[in-house]
Every structure is written in C-alpha cells, then in structure tokens.
C-alpha cells in the first residue's frame, strides 16, 4: 500500500557463546527458527569447562567475550551457557547497550508454565547450582513453586566425549532421575546447554514415567525471536546462512567433537586471540 514503508532488514549478526560445544544446541535452534539471521558462535575452549570455576572468573571471561562479539557489530548476544548466564548476565546488561539474552530465565518461565504440581527439578553444573539463579528465576515467575537443584557436572565431559548415549551416561542419569522422582517433581529443566544432547538417554531411562523435560535451547530461541520483533532488528528473507565459528583454542578438537555430536559438517572455526593460549595449557 502506498505511503507505508516496509520494515528494514537488520543484517547485523547475532553473537552466541559458550565454553565448549554445548551452546551449539542453542545455535541449532536459532538457525532453525531464524534462518535469515547471520550467526557468530564463539567457544571459549581456552577456559573449558566453566562449571567448576569461580563466578568472578567466569564473569570476566564472559564480559571480555561479549565485548569482542560487540566489536564484530553484533545486534544481540546470547549467553548460551547457564554458568555464564548465572555469573555475568546482569553485569553484561549494565555494561553493554545491545540486548543480552541468557538461557536461565526462558527455561525457568517455560518450566513454571509446564508444571502441574508445582515441583520443578533443575540439573546443572555445580557453578549454576551454587549461584541459585534458577531458584530465583523460577520463584520470580511463581513464588509458590518448589525447586530442587541437582548438580551433575560429569555429564558435560560425557557429552563432550561423544558419549551422551553411553551406558555410563544412562547409569548417572538413572540415579539422578530416581532422586528427582522421589522428591516428586513433574518437570525437569536441563540447566546446561550440553544436556539437550542427553535427551534420548533421558527418555530411555524414564521409560514412559511422566516427567516434562524443558530444553532451554528451544525456549531461548523463542525469546530471541520475540526480542528481534519487538525491537525491529530482525533480518528479512528465508535463505539459511551458515554460521561463523570462532574458538579461543583447540579448533581441531572443537570440529571433531561438534561433528561427532551433531552429525552435520560445520565450517572450520577461526582461532581468536582473546587470551594468552600458551598459558592455558590447552592443546591445539
């Protein structure tokens, strides 16, 4: 119609980061939901894993990475790591002007909407559990909901090793899921972006037992899509663009693990010198 301008297409990229390959679960969901968006993914393998580290350490890593991604003209940054979201989200929003999205609040909101009996369990790394950010986010959405936090840090290494469907993974999950069932939860939040890769094993271990599983990768992609619309910064078109991959160390390990876990051949990652890699002890 004459006199009405079509919305402009914002072709600036969206930045996404994690300490390893786990955040690729978020990248996959973003890519599927927003095919026209340019995506940049940064894996901080120089400091992997974030889970056992002190919060102040993770905060400094995250703020430096966000600063780097914003320097690449990103229009929005996703902390595709629960530990980083817990440690750095508030500080990042105070420091930077672009929208910063974490993975905790979307998962918490989805869990509150899903629970029928008001009992929600969250499995995560130790850093995320200790931060109590999921408890705060879930209670903010509904103060009457009970929350059980269970740290299962060994699952991150199992996923990174490509053993998400192994008997070892199943044995650990069986113990954890029995504890959750005994507490009476009807909803489980996968509080680490590595954990959606364990979903087939979780379903196998549950063997039909009723438990609603909330995947923060899906809920985060939904929130990002909404933010793009509200702020009118979405890209137009339908062509699926390949993501740009960056690592702070170990590019070969990243490629091998990513291909093993996701099956698809991904572009070769570029090493970015954010830290003194020689001091980290990480092999390339």
Catalytic positions, written as ranges: 81, 192
Residue 217, φ and ψ in degrees, nearest 5: -65, -45
Q: What is d(CA 28, CA 34) in angstroms, rounded to the nearest whole number?
A: 10
| Residue keyed to tokens 């850093």 | 127
Q: How many residues belong to the chain?
A: 284
Question: Who's near 60: CB < 8 A, 6+ residues apart?
Answer: none
Q: What is d(CA 245, CA 266) in angstroms, rounded to the nearest whole number?
A: 8
Q: Hey, is 132 helix, strand or coil?
A: coil
CB 189 within 8 A of CB 123: yes
Burial of 279 (0-12, 13-18, 19+ CB in 10 A): exposed
Q: What is d(CA 133, CA 170) in angstroms, rounded to the nearest whole number?
A: 27
- DSSP result, 65-101: HHHHHHHTT-SEEEE--HHHHHHHHHHHHHH-SS-EE
H or E element in which residue 150 lies: strand 146-151
DSSP category for residue 213: E
């Amino acid at each position: 119609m004459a006199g009405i301008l079509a919305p402009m297409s914002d072709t600036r990229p969206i930045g996404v980061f994690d300490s390893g390959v786990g955040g690729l679960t978020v990248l996959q969901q973003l890519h599927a939901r927003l095919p026209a968006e340019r995506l940049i993914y940064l894996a901080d393998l120089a400091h992997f894993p974030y889970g056992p580290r002190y919060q102040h350490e993770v905060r400094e890593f995250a703020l430096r990475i966000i600063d780097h991604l914003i320097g690449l003209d990103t229009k929005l940054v996703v902390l595709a790591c629960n530990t980083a979201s817990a440690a750095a989200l508030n500080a990042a929003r105070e420091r930077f002007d672009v929208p910063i999205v974490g993975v905790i609040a979307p998962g918490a909101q989805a869990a509150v909407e899903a629970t029928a009996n008001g009992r929600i369990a969250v499995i995560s790394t130790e850093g995320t559990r200790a931060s109590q950010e999921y408890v705060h986010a879930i209670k903010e959405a509904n103060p009457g909901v009970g929350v059980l936090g269970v740290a299962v840090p060994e699952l991150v290494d199992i996923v990174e090793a490509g053993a998400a469907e192994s008997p070892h993974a199943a044995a650990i999950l069986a113990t954890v899921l029995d504890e959750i069932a005994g507490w009476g939860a009807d909803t489980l939040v996968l509080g680490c972006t590595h954990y959606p890769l364990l979903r087939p094993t979780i379903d196998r271990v549950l063997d039909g037992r009723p438990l609603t599983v909330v995947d923060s990768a899906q809920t985060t992609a939904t929130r990002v899509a909404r933010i793009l619309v509200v702020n009118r910064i979405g890209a137009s078109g339908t062509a699926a663009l390949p993501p740009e991959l960056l690592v702070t160390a170990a590019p070969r390990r990243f490629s091998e693990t990513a291909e093993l876990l996701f099956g698809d051949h991904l572009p070769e990652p570029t090493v970015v010198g954010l830290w003194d890699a020689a001091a980290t002890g990480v092999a390339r």
